[in-house]
Structure 1
Amino acid sequence: MQLTGSQVIIECLKEQGVDTVFGYPGGAILNVYDELYKHPEIKHVLTSHEQGASHAADGYARSTGKVGVCLATSGPGATNLVTGISTAYMDSIPIVAITCNVGVSLLGKDSFQEIDIAGITTPVTKYSFIVKDVEKLADTIRRAFDIARKGRPGPVLVDIPKNVTADLVEYTRQEIKLPERVTETITDSDIDNAIELIKASKKPYIFVGGGVVLSGASKELKEFVDKVNAPVCDTLMGKGAYDGTSDNYTGMLGMHGTKTSNLGVSECDLLIAIGTRFSDRVLGNPKKFADQAKILQFDVDAAEINKNIRVTSSVIGDVKEILTRINKKLTQLDHNSWVEHVLAYAKTFPLTYHKEGLSGPFVIEKIYEMTKGNAIMVTEVGQHQMWAAQYYKYSKPRTLLTSGGLGTMGYGLGAAIGAQTANPDRTVVNIAGDGCFRMNMNELATASREKLPLIEVIINNHVLGMVRQWQTLFYEKHYSATVLDDGVDYVKLSEAMGATARRVKTQEEFEKAFADALKSKTPFVIDCIIDSDDKVWPMVAPGKPINESFDEEDYNATQGGN
């Protein structure tokens, strides 16, 4: 049948099973929005800003495992998506961004709101398309979804000139076949080498990254951990892939990881890294990282092998399939004495914070208690993000949504909108700092319009907390451009945008406010006033080995008790 390009776009979204899109209309994309108007089966969430749309698509994707979709018009509409696309790219999140451009005859002429968005996004997407011929439109959209899902997931952009959205073309519906898992790169010899390394190890440690979440391999990971009988640590992106309430779970690894994980990995003789890219925040000093250990890496992306750290052996392919094959061949091992040795560190060096007064760690622990660990936790970026990683126990995958690679301030509220839209019956909590909140707080208007019962918790220390922490520790307390004590009233702002809001200064006030938030049917903002100099402990100084992690007591000792 003959359809316009706009009709083809909508039909292709329906082919892919898309039920929700996030976006903001404009001149170049009007034909698409006119067609979308006729299809109420696809829910459109109008965000307050295109960046909010891209973060919402990301949060939708992270919380469901489906491809998130966002729409924007040409020029600034398209460029406003770039931060969200980059965020998804760094964390391997499948989204498809559809933009529309000026007509083909106007391309390259500096036309009004013309921009080469495909060129701009090429470095931060798996692929960027511009479709100048309506005959290629349907296949390009199908290919975009396939690329976004396949192998290591990631964002794809499709830019469509306005005339293409109006041109007619013959369209035939296709049944979509989801891409198969990457298995052709998994060899028997690599599997056997991995098993030999594991069997020869006396002190193995299992290090879990976001790839386990993306591949849906939590069940296989649990079986593998039980067979190896080893302690487990994770990255920020790996939270929930392994049950954080398990006895042999030792917490996050790296700059703000636990002393237990950092010391244990520094002593192990085999580090089994699963679906992780060895970021600089994990490695500390790469020359001294796990320097007593052989390193075995499982990853779907061959480019990650030997990129940041030299490994002894690797298996390349889908993590779920790799673990399935290893589990079939691996016999039960006994490393009880090693596990007990590592867990002794947990008793000696537990995560601690000052119990009096309102603080970030208290807020996170209380949220965990009051949600019974069943919330979808979303964060912005900074101290509050680290506290959310440290003090909430993630027992299931896709329950912590956070910008790990790009570290995008302003990510959380949009992502929480995406997660709440996709999971209407779940409790969704966004943890923000006051610096992050002010970046995209306009999305509260979106949450209010959509009547989303998400809970926004602002850890308000009136400063850019993490930057101030570095200024305190490494820059002689030169607080350059990090003080935010400017009289902005977040409660009034939130109420003005249709949310319920409370300001709390004590533990008791927070508990009462959060209990009310859990019963709310609309957005609820809690402005938590904490001390400006609260810090995230422990910490590894930049460039230092991870076994030189220090906490508040260590720091005060080096400062003569000050």
Structure 2
Amino acid sequence: MLEDRDVETMFGYPGGAVIPIYDEIRDSSIRHVLVRHEQCAAHAADGYARATGKTGVCLSTSGPGATNMVTGIATAYADSIPMLALTGQVGSKVLGSEAFQEVDAYSLMMSVTKHNFRVTDVKRLPHAIDEAWQIAASGRPGPVHVDLPVDQINAQIDEAMTNEHFGIKKPWEDVSGIPDAVRLIKECQKPVIFAGGGAVGAGASDEVKRLSQMIGAPIVTPLMGIGIVPSADPLNMGALGMHGRMCAMEAFQNSDLIIAVGTKFSDRTYSPHTEPSKKCRVIQIDIDATQFGKSNRTSVDIKCDAKKALGLLIDALGGETRHDPWTRQVKEWKKRCTCNYDYYTSPIVPQKVMKELNSFFDEDTIITTDVGQNQMWAMHFLDVKRPRQLLSSGSFGTMGFGLPAAIGAKAARPDCKVATVVGDGGLQMVVQELATAVAEKLPVVVVLLNNGWLGMVKQWQKLFWDKRYSETELGDDPDFCMIAQAYKAKGIHVERAGEVHDALKEAFDCGETCVVDIKCDPEEDALPMLPPNPALAPVKGRCKF
């Protein structure tokens, strides 16, 4: 059934309850990537899905195998990533008897999946797989879990049944607000397009750019929306939010109309520090009606796929509705939003690493990030050229995401150069996956910003907790190059700024998995930073504006 749905790759880790499936994998056309930890099977399937837009597939055994996958599944759920998560289960006749490696995975997964199935009758297996596959990718995408008791996996089934298809209810649409949306656009003077992960997922890049050009509106994004239009686009203000760009915040705060496309007004982007005046109105386009109303403003809500809705809106506008003074103003803000750095300091500043990484960042490059300061520097300074090029854990903020997601992206797009930007804290959570990259011949470049601290937590303690550093210094970090070599990967030490470019070039050119261990300044903060307490002033650092 997975082959019939054109599944080419799946990620997993075997155990007793899923041996029957693994036995069949030997004779299938599907490539199985053996990870070293089940959490990373889910992260790799997630990276595969983010890089392609296809549904990622992961598989684990029962009990601890299933529980280990929960974090990766929750990460995908928080960012609306399509995934099919398969778990083995003890035999259906001993469910609830505290059998060996039994856990109620069905209940456990409910809060982090779109839907769940438990197959206690093999005749229901085709129904579960078919519906799960459709549900994962329909409407607002997300992971779907199928729990598979071992006796049902071993049971016989009429093969004709596996060709049956079962319909699911298609998401309902309501585009009746299009005329009101057109009216708001023609009445406003300072429109802003706020485009998130839903716009990327819907493939609405061209429509977002076209609408921006038609009405002269700047584009701001949350982390998940980066790449919806190229970073270099003069109307792309960049990321908004706690660590966003000052020009994005200026444009957003001064707007009188927000056109929100596939974004959920998260607390990390939409806060008392960033929100415009109460007179600002909202057009919200989303396939998920639960997202409406989160802006707490007068809003025209359009429940529809983002690509389709924007197409209808563009057609209804009928031509350009220019806001030239506003367009000139936001372009000036972007021009002034620059930062001064001495790129040849010692220790190395992470901004220097991002600057050099940009010289290797072409259309055929995919970069994943881990979570923390490394993620924010990548968000600010990488020159992203297209959707699905910068992959990062947004809503769940999962440390350890970067490396396995890069492996999944490389499996999905073997033609692309794939790198991951990580910190020394996050890398050590999943460092064993270097073995996966090597053994599976999925070479990735690990750009390690090594500062010896849990940097983002330290930064909070520094700025808001009177420098009372508690359990954030990692102490005696290992020699990461020696670890890489132990896993039969390549390792390169970088201690001087002048070495960064050549080290990255060697890593990308070597054709093997490579850890570039770059010693970075532990006192460099990811700025600007909007504090969680609205009463506190933003920390702007060295930003001119």
The Cα shift of 1:227 comes to 1.1
Alignment map for 1:438-517 (pairs within 5 Å): 438-517=428-507
Q: Is the 8 A contact 2:260 2:283 kept in 1?
A: yes
Amino acid paired to 1:258: R
Amino acid paired to 1:509: E
Amino acid paired to 2:540: D
Among 302, 321, 325, the residue aligned to 2:289: 302
Amino acid paired to 1:302: A
Note the alpha carbon deviations across 1:3-54, whole angstroms, 9 max, x for none: xxxxxxxxx1011110101000000001111111111x10000000101111
**Most deviating of 457-466 and 240-249:** 240-249
State the percentage of identical aligned residues.
Answer: 40
The Cα shift of 1:219 comes to 1.3
| 2:152 is the counterpart of 1:171 | no
Question: d(CA) in 1 for partners of 2:255 and 2:57?
Answer: 43
Question: d(CA) in 2 for partners of 1:232 and 1:72?
Answer: 41
Q: Is the 8 A contact 1:259 1:549 kept in 2?
A: no
The Cα shift of 1:180 comes to 10
Q: Is the 8 A contact 2:83 2:144 kept in 1?
A: yes
The Cα shift of 1:550 comes to 3.3
| 2:18 is the counterpart of 1:29 | yes
Q: Is the 8 A contact 2:362 2:385 kept in 1?
A: no
Among 71, 78, 83, the residue aligned to 1:95: 83
TM-score of the aligned structures, taking structure 2 as reference length: 0.96
Among 55, 62, 74, the residue aligned to 1:67: 55
Partner of 2:343: 355
Check 1:58–1:195 CA distance in 2 against 1; reply closer, same or farther (3 A cut): same
State the secondary structure of the residue aligned to 2:282: strand
Partner of 1:155: 143
Question: d(CA) in 1 for partners of 2:199 and 2:168?
Answer: 18
State the secondary structure of the residue aligned to 2:27: coil
The Cα shift of 1:438 comes to 0.3
Q: Is the 8 A contact 2:278 2:297 kept in 1?
A: no
Question: d(CA) in 1 for partners of 2:52 and 2:80?
Answer: 14
State the secondary structure of the residue aligned to 1:123: helix
The Cα shift of 1:287 comes to 9.6
State the secondary structure of the residue aligned to 2:224: coil
**Most deviating of 364-373 and 157-166:** 364-373
Partner of 1:412: 402
Q: What are the ranges of 5 or more consecutive residues in structure 1 without an aligned counterpart?
A: 1-11, 556-562
Amino acid paired to 2:107: G
Note the alpha carbon deviations across 1:121-159, whole angstroms, 9 max, x for none: 100000111110001001111110100000000000000
Question: d(CA) in 2 for partners of 1:61 and 1:492?
Answer: 32
Amino acid paired to 1:75: G
Check 1:113–1:90 CA distance in 2 against 1; reply closer, same or farther (3 A cut): same
Amino acid paired to 2:270: L
Q: What are the ranges of 5 or more consecutive residues in structure 2 without an aligned counterpart?
A: none
**Most deviating of 334-343 and 432-441:** 334-343
| 2:106 is the counterpart of 1:118 | yes
TM-score of the aligned structures, taking structure 1 as reference length: 0.93
Q: Is the 8 A contact 1:229 1:335 kept in 2?
A: yes
The Cα shift of 1:290 comes to 4.7
Alignment map for 1:69-468 (pairs within 5 Å): 69-172=57-160, 173-174=162-163, 182=171, 184-187=172-175, 189-285=176-272, 288-307=275-294, 309-330=296-317, 331-357=319-345, 358-372=348-362, 374-468=364-458
Question: d(CA) in 2 for partners of 1:56 and 1:458?
Answer: 19
Partner of 1:13: 2
Check 1:57–1:545 CA distance in 2 against 1; reply closer, same or farther (3 A cut): farther
Partner of 1:5: none
The Cα shift of 1:487 comes to 3.9
Amino acid paired to 2:146: V
Check 1:68–1:288 CA distance in 2 against 1; reply closer, same or farther (3 A cut): closer
The Cα shift of 1:292 comes to 4.2
Q: Is the 8 A contact 1:186 1:322 kept in 2?
A: no
Q: Is the 8 A contact 1:271 1:290 kept in 2?
A: no
Partner of 2:516: 526
Q: Is the 8 A contact 2:131 2:166 kept in 1?
A: no
Q: Is the 8 A contact 2:340 2:543 kept in 1?
A: no
Question: d(CA) in 1 for partners of 2:434 and 2:170?
Answer: 38
Note the alpha carbon deviations across 1:148-175, whole angstroms, 9 max, x for none: 0000000000001000011111122538
Q: Is the 8 A contact 1:451 1:521 kept in 2?
A: no
Q: Is the 8 A contact 2:36 2:432 kept in 1?
A: yes
**Most deviating of 487-496 and 149-158:** 487-496
Amino acid paired to 1:456: V
Amino acid paired to 2:27: K
Partner of 2:541: 552
